[in-house]
Structure 1
Amino acid sequence: MSDLYLITGFLGAGKTTFLKNFLRLFAGKKIQLIVNEFGQEGIDGTLLADLGAYLNEIAGGSVFCSCRLDQFEKVLRESADVNADVILVEASGLSDPTAVRRLFSQTERFPHIAYQGAVCLVDAVRFPKLYATARTCVKQLASSDVALINKVDRATEEQLQRTRELIRGQRPDMPVLETAFGRTDRGILELLAASSHADGAELPLTADLTLRKLLVTVAPTITPYALQKFIEMFIEVTFRVKGFVMTSAGLYLVDCAGNVVTMTPYTGDVSEEKYGRLVILSGAGMPVRKRVKEAASWYADSILSVE
C-alpha cells in the first residue's frame, strides 16, 4: 500500500521548494514523485530529478483536467509496479483539484493507494490579489486539508493578516501553518492524519482555468542582460514566467512570480528540447500577448517566436 499526498497551490507559491523539504520527512522510504507542469516544459521535474526518487512528469495541462486525467490515471495504475511507500503528487499551479476526493475514493481502481490528503501552499505576499482574481485559489483551498502560508519573511503584517483572514473566511475548519522557504516538520503529517480527507463526496471533474498562456522561443545568442530587460517589459501583467534559456553566457533558469525577474545560472542536466523557451502565464483580461509582442519587437534578433 502506498500513501499518497497531494501538493497544490497557485503559481509561485513555493511548491517545489516545499516538496524538497517535505521529502525529508520520509527518509528511508521508497518514494515516487508525480510532477505536473501546466506548460510544455517539465521544469520542476528536472530540478527534482536528483533527489533519488522515482519520477514521473505530466506536462501540457492539469492532471485533474480531462485532457490529462487519462495520463494521470495511467501513471497511478503503473505505480503499483513501483511499490513505493509514499507517492507525492505536485499539481500544476493552475489546477482545479476539486475532483481529488472522488478520484481516490474509487478504491477498486487504485487498491494500492491510500490517499492521505492535500497541502495547499499559499504565497503570503501575493495571495490577497490572486484570491480576488484567480478562482483556482478558491478551488485549491476547498480541496485541501492543510494550508501552509509560505514566504512569511517577505510579507508585511498587513499582507499576512489579510491572507489569514481570507483562508479562515473560506475554510474556518482548516489547520493553517506559516513558514518561510517551504520549511516544514513532522507536525504537518500529524495534521494530515487527523484531517477528514477520507470523505468520498462526488465532485465533478473540471477543466483547467481559461488563462492566457504564451510560449516564447529565445535564440541562444541573447545576452543575460537582454533577456532580463525583455522580461521586465511585460512581467507585471503575468502570473508566472518560467523556462530554461541558453544565453551567450550559458544556461539560465528563469523562474519569475509577481513583478520580480529571477534568473539563475544553471549547471544541471537539461535536454536540449527543454531549453530555449519561456512559458508565460497570466490571467484573463491582462494584455499579455500585446505586451510580449511589443517586447519581442525590441529584441527581434533574439526572440524567434511568440506562440
Structure 2
Amino acid sequence: MSSLYLITGFLGAGKTTFLKNMVRCFPGRKLALIVNEFGREGVDGALLSKLGVAMTEIDNGSIFCSCRLDQFESALAGTLAQGPDVILVEASGLADPTSVRKVLDQPARFPGLVYAGAICLVDAGQFHKVFATTRVCALQLAVSDLVLINKTDLAAPEAVARVRAEVLAQRPGCQVHETTFGQLEASWLSALSAPPARTSAAVPHVKDITLQKFTLVLDEILSAAALESLLSLFAGDTYRIKGFAPLAEGLFLVDCVGPQIQLTPWPGMAPNPGRLSVLFGNGQNARRSVQAAIDRRSGLHIE
C-alpha cells in the first residue's frame, strides 16, 4: 500500500520548504515525490533534488487541469510501480485541486493507493490579498484536511488570528496549526483522517482567468545589487517571481513573494538560468511595471 499526501497552497506560501521538512517525518520509509509547477522553468525540482528521494516533475500547467491530467496520471502510475510507502504530491500554487478524489479513486489504474489527505499552506502575511483576488485559493482550502498558517513570524498576532478565523469560516472543523519556516509536527499528520471535501459537484474545474504569467529573460550579467534594485521596481505588482539568475557574483536563486525579494547563492547547476517566471493577476500592473523597468535599463526582455 502507498499513502498519498497532497500539498497545496498559493504561490509563495512555503510549500517547497514545507516539503523538505515533511520528508523527515517518514524515517526508514520509501518516499517518492511528484512536483508540479505552473511555469516552464522547473525551479522547485532543482530545490528538492538534494533530498535523495525519487522525484517526477510536471511543469507548465496544473496537474488537475485537462492540459496536464493525463501526464499526472501516467506519472502517478509509474511512481506506484516503484512500490513507495509514501507519495508526496506538491501541486502548483495555481492549482484547482477539487477533482483530487475523483482522479485518485481509480483502483484499477492505481492499485494499492490510499489517499491520506490534503495539506494546505497559507501565508500569514499575504493570505487576505490572495484570497480576495484569486479563485483557486478558496478551492485549495475547500479540499484541505490540514491547514498550516505559515510565516507567522512575519505577521502581527492579530493578523494571524484573522487568517485563522477566515480559514475556519471556509473549512469548519478543519485541523489548523500555526508555524514558521514550513515546520510541522508528526502528530499533525497522524491526526489526518481525510474527510470528504466540502465541494459541490457544480463547481466547474476551469482555468482561473484572473491569473497570468510571463517569463522575464535576463540578457546580460548583472550584479546582485543591480538585479535586486531592478526587481524592486515591479515585484510589488506581482504574486511571485521565481527562477535562477547568473550574476556577477555567481548563480543565484531568485524568489520574490510580492515586494519581498530574496536572492540566495546557488551552488552547482540549475535549470534555465536567466529565465524568471512572473505570476500576477488581473488588476495588477506587472507588465506595465516590467516594461517601464526595461525602458530604463537594457539587457532583459519579456517572453
Secondary structure, in 3 states, of the residue corresponding to 1:7? Answer: strand
* Cα deviation 1:203-262 (Å, max 9, x = unaligned): 777233221201011024222122111111111110001010111221110001021111
For the pair 1:20 / 2:20, whether they are aligned, the reply is yes
1:39 corresponds to: 39
Once residues 228 and 255 of structure 1 are traced to their aligned partners in structure 2, the CA distance between those partners, rounded to angstroms, is 11
Tell me the amino acid that sits aligned with residue 207 of structure 1: V
* Cα deviation 1:113-164 (Å, max 9, x = unaligned): 1111100001111101211111111000001111111111111122111101
1:277 corresponds to: 275
1:219 corresponds to: 219
Unaligned runs of 5+ in 1: none
4+ runs of 1 displaced by more than 4 Å?
Answer: 197-205
1:101 corresponds to: 101
1:306 corresponds to: 302
Secondary structure, in 3 states, of the residue corresponding to 2:290? Answer: helix
Secondary structure, in 3 states, of the residue corresponding to 2:252? Answer: strand
Secondary structure, in 3 states, of the residue corresponding to 1:262? Answer: strand
Secondary structure, in 3 states, of the residue corresponding to 1:180? Answer: coil
Q: 1:135-174 to 2 correspondence within 5 Å?
A: 135-174=135-174
1:208 corresponds to: 207
| 83 and 248 in structure 1: CA distance in 2 versus 1, 3 angstrom threshold | same
User: TM (normalized to structure 2)?
Assistant: 0.95
Question: Which one is further off, 1-10 or 109-118?
Answer: 109-118
Is the 8 Å Cα contact of residues 239 and 258 (structure 1) preserved in structure 2? yes
Once residues 55 and 83 of structure 2 are traced to their aligned partners in structure 1, the CA distance between those partners, rounded to angstroms, is 13
Once residues 57 and 202 of structure 2 are traced to their aligned partners in structure 1, the CA distance between those partners, rounded to angstroms, is 25
For the pair 1:262 / 2:262, whether they are aligned, the reply is yes
Tell me the amino acid that sits aligned with residue 195 of structure 1: A
1:287 corresponds to: 285
Unaligned runs of 5+ in 2: none
Is the 8 Å Cα contact of residues 18 and 183 (structure 1) preserved in structure 2? yes
For the pair 1:245 / 2:245, whether they are aligned, the reply is yes
Once residues 203 and 107 of structure 1 are traced to their aligned partners in structure 2, the CA distance between those partners, rounded to angstroms, is 24
Is the 8 Å Cα contact of residues 143 and 197 (structure 2) preserved in structure 1? no
Is the 8 Å Cα contact of residues 3 and 85 (structure 1) preserved in structure 2? yes
Once residues 202 and 84 of structure 1 are traced to their aligned partners in structure 2, the CA distance between those partners, rounded to angstroms, is 32
* Cα deviation 1:60-102 (Å, max 9, x = unaligned): 0110011111110110111122111110000000111000011
1:198 Cα deviation (Å)? 8.8
What is the root-mean-square deviation in Å for CA atoms of aligned residues? 1.7
Tell me the amino acid that sits aligned with residue 295 of structure 2: S
Once residues 287 and 280 of structure 1 are traced to their aligned partners in structure 2, the CA distance between those partners, rounded to angstroms, is 12
Once residues 127 and 228 of structure 1 are traced to their aligned partners in structure 2, the CA distance between those partners, rounded to angstroms, is 24
Q: 1:24-103 to 2 correspondence within 5 Å?
A: 24-103=24-103
Tell me the amino acid that sits aligned with residue 208 of structure 1: K
Once residues 280 and 199 of structure 2 are traced to their aligned partners in structure 1, the CA distance between those partners, rounded to angstroms, is 33
Of all paired residues, the percent bearing the same amino acid is 47
Once residues 152 and 171 of structure 2 are traced to their aligned partners in structure 1, the CA distance between those partners, rounded to angstroms, is 20
1:197 Cα deviation (Å)? 4.5
| 185 and 124 in structure 1: CA distance in 2 versus 1, 3 angstrom threshold | same
User: TM (normalized to structure 1)?
Assistant: 0.94
Tell me the amino acid that sits aligned with residue 131 of structure 1: F
Is the 8 Å Cα contact of residues 240 and 256 (structure 2) preserved in structure 1? yes
Tell me the amino acid that sits aligned with residue 91 of structure 1: A
Once residues 38 and 207 of structure 2 are traced to their aligned partners in structure 1, the CA distance between those partners, rounded to angstroms, is 9
1:195 Cα deviation (Å)? 3.3
Instruction: Give the count of matched residue pairs.
Output: 302
Tell me the amino acid that sits aligned with residue 29 of structure 1: R
Once residues 109 and 29 of structure 1 are traced to their aligned partners in structure 2, the CA distance between those partners, rounded to angstroms, is 23
Tell me the amino acid that sits aligned with residue 277 of structure 1: R
Once residues 33 and 205 of structure 1 are traced to their aligned partners in structure 2, the CA distance between those partners, rounded to angstroms, is 28
| 110 and 8 in structure 1: CA distance in 2 versus 1, 3 angstrom threshold | same
Secondary structure, in 3 states, of the residue corresponding to 1:19? Answer: helix
